A and B are shown apart, each in its own frame.
Chain A
Amino acid sequence: MKPFTYAKANDRADATSQAADDATFIAGGTNLLDLTKLEVMAPDRLVDINRLDLAEISETDEGGLRIGALVSNSDCAAHVRVRQVYPVLSRAILAGASGQLRNKATTGGNLCQRTRCYYFYDTAMPCNKREPGSGCQALQGFNRIHAILGASEACIATYPGDMAVAMTALDAAVEIESAAGEVRLIPVRDFHRLPGDHPEKDNILEAGDLITAVILPPPVTGRQIYRKVRDRASYAFALCSMAAVVEMDGDRIASAALAFGGLAHKPWRDEAVEALLVGEKPSAALFGRAADQLLAEARGYGSNDFKIALTRRVLIAVLTEATQEGAAA
């Protein structure tokens, strides 16, 4: 672990101004501390933001929820309103990590969780994400957990989390405060980036930006499902996950919001897939076409080829479940 300075931020302005000056925030530290010990990340300065007043969940004027950036994953998943009207979020969070980690991990920190690419984690390996320009060892290497959508020649890493996948399906937005004190809202679906030529940038945060909350819009009716597929029953990252919020109008699909984890550098949402479903009667053929659409550009890199077939099967199964008769509102 490289020596670093550690300071506590007293308020948001203090936090953002320090971050603008190249400091790294620490909240739960469940990912950052591991990476720092391995020197995958080697911050010179840490700013502890746990004292900031960002640990509340409150209702918004619009009828949605404002989840403070420091709300723990455990508290968010257990919140009565989250469980009642955003169950896909609660289930996604509980599908990740362990009880102990969820107690420490925060809402803002979880959005910033870094990839689990094996080569990113091993400092002896070239990695464009860790060391821009050094190359990508995963491309020709073992890439079982890697991306099949939206990857680049520079990086095929995935965003590993679950929470943001559900938030993407729920059309949530990230509230960000800049060092200048400006507050902006970015849809979660736009928060993470595709790797392109700059895989070192996981998301759109600029120096000095502080995530202050995640805003959930007013709840939608319909069935909510989170399906996570992984190698063991718990405590493993998703090979493929799917968050679905699907509403029926009689025997036709009224709306469908579908987000996928484990497939790309960001939670993956494809509006063309959703457009294809809306107004249609559920059928195996329809879901097959939806899968064709979703995976039209999918590409495997060897050990992750199976993800294409897997995702197709998961999409069809989840849509079947979401649209079957008797689906609860």
Chain B
Amino acid sequence: MTAHQKMDKADERNRLDDMVQGLVGTPMDRPEGPLKVSGQATYAHEWDVPDMLYGVLARATISKGRVTDVASSGLIGKNGVRAVITDDRLLRRPAQGGADEAPAQGAKQVDYFGQPIALVVAETFEQARHGANRLEISYEAEGNAAFDPEAEDTDTDLPEDDQLDQGDLDQAMRDAAFTVDQVYRTPGHNSAAMEPHCAIASWDGDKLTLRGSYQMLNFNINELADALHIVPDNIHMLSPYVGGGFGSKLGISPEAVSAALAAKEVGQPVCVALSRPQVFETTMRRSETRQHVRLACGEDGVLTGIGHECLVSNLPGEGFYEPVTQATHFLYGGKHRKLGIEVARVNRTCGGSVRAPGEAVGMQVLENALDELAEASGIDPVELRKRNVPDRHPEQDIPYSSRRFVEALDEGARRFQWDECNKKPGSLREGDWLIGHGMAGASRVNILSEAKARVTLQADGSALVETDMTDIGTGTYAILTQIAGEMLGLPAAKVETRLGDTDFPRGPGSGGSWGAASTGSAVFLACEEIRGTIAEAMGIEEDELTLADGKAGKGEAARPLADILAGKPLSAIGHIEPGQTLEEMQQATYGSYFAEVAVNAVTGETRVRRMLGVFGAGRILNEKTATSQCYGGMIWGIGSALTEELVFDNRDGHIVNHDLAEYHIPVNLDVPQIEVVLLEERDEYASPIQAKGIGELGICGAAAAVTNAIYNATGIRVRDYPATLDKLLADLPEA
């Protein structure tokens, strides 16, 4: 049985609200949590595969050119080294999310410093690592590499789809009562997931089993097949547990292809894990950005024009570019609009999706500019945003689906006691600390993707959920268990969810915040189908059916599901497809951030003292895991504001700070008590479960609240992220 729904129109039935089990929305603990905290959840590197060898990738130490020789013969046969793989199919970079085909192959061509060149395979990891360190690689370097995106002689191009020139922004700027015209810069980021990338490949004849850490198996299997020149049917991929992804595991990466090639060549399973420096050098980076923002408004603070023109970078020929203006297109009104993205072609590590590509840095800067406009116009920042919420999409003239932006602003202001906060910059001091408050709006586009999932109501009355969807720490196991339990009237303990296996029905995986709503809808549809069968067996309509605690029916007439099934399991596949509601409505999630910072008047060190986020993202499927997603986003916002920065050496494009000692993510002491408030919301245009994506919303503008608070504390605008102390020092009060 397959239940199919295409979102061509709103689903206003709100069926989950009719259910009585009471699981969906609750802060249910993760069912796999005990396995994770007791070390029993098997992550990619932890599979016990017999006769396994280890491979370590050797890196390019030039920035552009060709490999002329890999001196492998001196290594093989000594110190446990078994092989050196230099196959033409090796990947030069990972695949972009959803690529569905192999990325650039052939590691003899070098596009960036640190690119994988060869794989050294040995009996132990240590031997392989030593071999990779010793491997002598000869090059023919090309002198025309470009490293600095802003250098005059760096080539750039303008993606056609991302240039908007509506009305006359220059004129609007001239006519405006108040304007902002500033250039901001944000640095590159790396996802730096706790679990480094890893793959274990083993062959049985022509059949490849690949255990790895990936986010989107449905695409990864095709990318891997294309890279290896084999058919996808000969591949079985397993990613039941993923220790963080943030976009860095969206596409197949060099470790998977090299492990598969090596395992074939040596005839034994091969495990390839990336070291932390390799994670920085060879997985996707978030592009640095230069953002020129222009805002024009009347005396009333209502925007008449918005300009958001951005420079980002990527490797030559790479299709992805950071979609910086994504939320700027729809969040605020203003008739005259100039939005554009220019891509500089540089020989740096490949640019790709890193948590909330686009909004993470675009909202960060837009919300700084709004703060500057609030100051220029003398209008409170919360009020200014509320005055600029458009009725219809300012470019496409389409309506919005549910949008709780104003409520998030109001609720945040109320909880933070925003109106009580000091508004005069640099005037609140406690000892050596300058105290400031700031706020920002949050927004992230919503995406629904095609997904399938199988639900089986087993003869004993328990349920099994199967999909290739992944749980990258987000809570997929929990929310799919909750949806199935809710729909089938089962306690969570009676539902088992199995994920991350390409033998299961396919879906879009985890990325772009779409996982929960997409695969969750597929599970919902499968369950609805099963409910229909049960109702039929009972001779009633599906919408009259009550399922609770393993029984069907109400009160004393309720019968155990196992009795109704009479020994026969029921299985259904749910199939969700996005449809016209994505085109006809602007779908997005919204929120607000409020932050209090203390800036040391002597040193310029900034510490965030409290932070609040209020978010609306449709139906919340699990209050705890949704809240945790928002915590994580806001913590990254603190890092984006204060410390995180990929530093490139513009002499050769190499990443200077390629480890967690010098790439400064926030540590516990940098993170204050964070409060997250989730607004009650149903978005009937988004999905049949009325849920939208929440995984990335927490970062989309969070950093701006912190830097706006720094301005309020010190009177210093830092427009060049991160706001490290050196950028404040010169303008702090006299020592």
- Contact indicator per residue, chain A 100-143, by CB within 8 Å of chain B (1) or not (0): 00000000000000001011011111000000000001001110
Q: A59 near B: Cβ within 8 Å?
A: no
> Nearest Cβ in chain B — how far from A325, in angstroms?
16
Q: A6 near B: Cβ within 8 Å?
A: no
Docked-complex contact A233 and B602, CB < 8 angstroms = no
Q: B603 near A: Cβ within 8 Å?
A: yes
Complex A-B: 29 CB contacts under 8 Å: A2-B130, A2-B133, A37-B129, A39-B133, A119-B656, A124-B59, A140-B651, A142-B647, A142-B649, A144-B647, A229-B605, A229-B725, A231-B642, A231-B664, A231-B724, A231-B725, A232-B643, A232-B670, A233-B670, A234-B669, A235-B669, A236-B664, A306-B726, A306-B729, A309-B730, A310-B604, A313-B603, A313-B735, A317-B602
Residues on A with beta carbons closer than 8 Å to the beta carbon of B277: 38, 122
Q: B666 near A: Cβ within 8 Å?
A: yes
Show the binding face of B for A, using Cβ within 8 Å: 59, 61, 79, 113, 126, 129-130, 133, 277, 432, 602-605, 607, 642-643, 647, 649, 651, 654, 656-659, 661-662, 664, 666-670, 724-726, 729-730, 732, 735
Residues on B with beta carbons closer than 8 Å to the beta carbon of A310: 603-604, 725-726, 729
Q: A239 near B: Cβ within 8 Å?
A: yes
Docked-complex contact B725 and A233, CB < 8 angstroms = no
Residues on A with beta carbons closer than 8 Å to the beta carbon of B607: 233
> Nearest Cβ in chain A — how far from B638, in angstroms?
10
- Contact indicator per residue, chain A 232-249, by CB within 8 Å of chain B (1) or not (0): 111111010000000000
Given the known A-B contacts A1-B130, A118-B656, A313-B729, are A233 and B79 also in contact in the complex, defined by CB atoms under 8 Å? no
Show the binding face of A for B, using Cβ within 8 Å: 1-3, 37-39, 116, 118-119, 121-125, 137, 140-142, 144-145, 229-237, 239, 306, 309-310, 312-314, 316-317
Extra 12 A-B pairs, beta carbons < 8 Å, given A141-B649, A229-B605, A232-B670? A39-B130, A122-B658, A137-B649, A142-B649, A144-B647, A229-B725, A232-B669, A235-B667, A236-B664, A310-B603, A310-B726, A317-B602
> Nearest Cβ in chain B — how far from A283, in angstroms?
13
Given the known A-B contacts A124-B61, A142-B656, A310-B725, are A232 and B649 also in contact in the complex, defined by CB atoms under 8 Å? no
Docked-complex contact A116 and B662, CB < 8 angstroms = yes
> Nearest Cβ in chain A — how far from B67, in angstroms?
15
Docked-complex contact B670 and A121, CB < 8 angstroms = no
Main secondary structure of the interface of B (DSSP, over half): loop
CA distance A235 to B129 in the complex (A): 27
CA distance A234 to B664 in the complex (A): 10
> Nearest Cβ in chain B — how far from A104, in angstroms?
16
Residues on A with beta carbons closer than 8 Å to the beta carbon of B669: 232-235
Docked-complex contact B664 and A141, CB < 8 angstroms = no
Docked-complex contact B662 and A118, CB < 8 angstroms = yes
Given the known A-B contacts A312-B735, A313-B735, are A232 and B667 also in contact in the complex, defined by CB atoms under 8 Å? yes
Given the known A-B contacts A313-B729, A317-B735, are A141 and B126 also in contact in the complex, defined by CB atoms under 8 Å? no
CA distance A314 to B603 in the complex (A): 7
Docked-complex contact A239 and B725, CB < 8 angstroms = yes
> Nearest Cβ in chain A — how far from B640, in angstroms?
13
- 8 Å CB contact of A234 from B647, B651, B668, B735: B668
CA distance A310 to B730 in the complex (A): 9
Docked-complex contact B725 and A317, CB < 8 angstroms = no
CA distance A39 to B132 in the complex (A): 11
CA distance A3 to B124 in the complex (A): 12
Residues on B with beta carbons closer than 8 Å to the beta carbon of A38: 277
Cβ-closest chain B residue relative to A313: B735
Docked-complex contact A313 and B642, CB < 8 angstroms = no
Cβ-closest chain B residue relative to A118: B656
Residues on A with beta carbons closer than 8 Å to the beta carbon of B61: 124
A-B interface, 8 closest residue pairs, ranked by CB to CB distance from nearest: A306-B726, A233-B669, A313-B735, A234-B669, A124-B61, A317-B602, A316-B735, A235-B667
Docked-complex contact B643 and A231, CB < 8 angstroms = yes
Residues on A with beta carbons closer than 8 Å to the beta carbon of B726: 144, 306, 310
CA distance A312 to B79 in the complex (A): 53
Cβ-closest chain A residue relative to B727: A306
- 8 Å CB contact of B126 from A1, A123, A236: A1
CA distance A37 to B662 in the complex (A): 17
Given the known A-B contacts A121-B659, A124-B59, A235-B667, are A313 and B602 also in contact in the complex, defined by CB atoms under 8 Å? yes
CA distance A317 to B735 in the complex (A): 7
> Nearest Cβ in chain A — how far from B729, in angstroms?
5
CA distance A10 to B667 in the complex (A): 40
